């Protein structure tokens, strides 16, 4: 069983790290190729490309300029401890033991516009480059064209060595980078709904956090079989067989 999640826009490069363990991204050469092209952009071009403020455009242009290899613990930090959004609040990788980090390295992957695929302990330097960004590059019109089949091929390699089940906890924007027709796997997509105004609804903030919570549940309980994820019960969620099918598993929670 392999789980995939999305990255986060917010980053944390300041807080103390709970582990000194780290690894190197598998697609660092590809990231270097992208960065070489991104470095040509002026701050206002970064702002226009990403639809962000001038201040953020300046920040991310500076990030592109300062990005360099080799990656070391002095100039980079593990991905699961660098991303700081809702998914990562739920994941709470800071609470992991060494054994849990080892499990996460085998069973969790982060899809990335710049790095392609990251393991939790893969070092990364700060960036912002969402997968849906229409950045024309030497390989094509956008990042989906840039990554082509690389992400899918890597997932197939990992899944072949496992049981062939992929748990999709990524957003649509990021999972679109996976060529599902070429993926030799059973795909299960959990969804999380909260009771509000007389019905169960997917509320973005809660759903994102729940994706991270499910990863934490799997990692801390050593879950390797998808069926065991139906026992997920963190923060009051429970599996609803009535609202689920073979491909989409629905987890419900009463009103917050």
Give every CB contact of residue 29 below 8 A, 6+ residues apart in sequence: none
Task: Specify if 70 maps to a domain.
Answer: no
DSSP codes joined into one string, 31-86: HHHHHHHHTT--HHHHHHHHT--HHHHHHHHHHHHH--SS--TTT-EEHHHHB-SH
Would you place residue 226 in the very low, low, confident or very high pLDDT band (cuts 50, 70, 90)? very high
142-189 pLDDT, tens per residue? 999 999 999 999 999 999 988 999 999 999 999 999 999 999 999 999
Name the pLDDT band for 56 (thresholds 50, 70, 90): very high
Residue 25, pLDDT > 80, answer: yes
Residue 68 maps to a domain: no
pLDDT, average across residues 203-214: 97
Q: What is the pTM of this model?
A: 0.97
How far is C-alpha 243 from the geometric centre of its chain's CA atoms?
26
* pLDDT, greater one: 120 or 197: 120
Q: Are 127 and 61 in contact (CB under 8 A)?
A: no
Tell me the average pLDDT across 31-49: 98
Q: Does the pLDDT value for residue 256 go beyond 90?
A: no
What local confidence, expressed as pLDDT, does residue 104 receive? Answer: 98
216 part of a folded domain: yes
- How many domains, the chain? 1
Alpha helix positions (H), the chain: 28-38, 43-50, 54-66, 79-82, 86-91, 98-107, 143-147, 150-160, 172-175, 204-220
Domain that holds residue 112: 2-12+21-26+78-253
Please tell me the predicted confidence (pLDDT) of residue 176: 98
Q: Which residue has the tokens 């990656």?
A: 71
Report if residue 45 sits inside a domain: no
| Residue % of the chain over a pLDDT of 90 | 98
Judge whether 87 and 209 are in contact, CB under 8 Å: yes
Q: CA of 19: how far to CAs of 1, 73, 81, 100, in Å?
A: 25, 11, 10, 11
């Amino acid at each position: 069983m392999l789980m995939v999640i999305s990255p986060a826009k917010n980053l944390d490069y300041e807080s103390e790290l709970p582990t000194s363990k780290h690894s190197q991204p598998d697609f660092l050469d590809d990231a270097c190729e992208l960065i070489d092209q991104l470095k040509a952009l002026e701050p206002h071009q970064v702002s226009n490309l990403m639809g962000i403020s001038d201040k953020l455009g300046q920040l991310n242009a500076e990030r592109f300029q300062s990005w360099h290899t080799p990656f070391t613990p002095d100039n980079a930090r593990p991905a699961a401890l660098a991303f700081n959004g809702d998914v990562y609040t739920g994941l709470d990788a800071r609470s992991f033991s060494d054994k849990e980090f080892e499990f996460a390295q085998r069973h969790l992957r982060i899809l990335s516009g710049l790095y392609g695929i990251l393991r939790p302990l893969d070092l990364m330097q700060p960036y912002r480059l969402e997968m849906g960004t229409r950045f024309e590059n030497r390989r094509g019109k956008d990042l989906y064209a840039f990554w082509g089949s690389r992400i899918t091929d890597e997932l197939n390699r990992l899944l072949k060595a496992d049981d062939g089940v992929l748990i999709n906890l990524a957003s649509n924007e990021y999972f679109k980078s996976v060529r599902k027709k070429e993926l030799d796997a059973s795909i299960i997509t959990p969804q999380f709904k909260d009771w509000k105004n007389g019905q169960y609804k997917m509320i973005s903030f809660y759903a994102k956090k729940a994706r991270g919570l499910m990863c934490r549940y799997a990692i801390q309980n050593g879950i390797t079989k998808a069926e065991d994820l139906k026992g997920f019960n963190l923060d009051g969620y429970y599996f609803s067989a009535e609202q689920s099918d073979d491909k989409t598993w629905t987890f419900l929670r009463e009103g917050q």
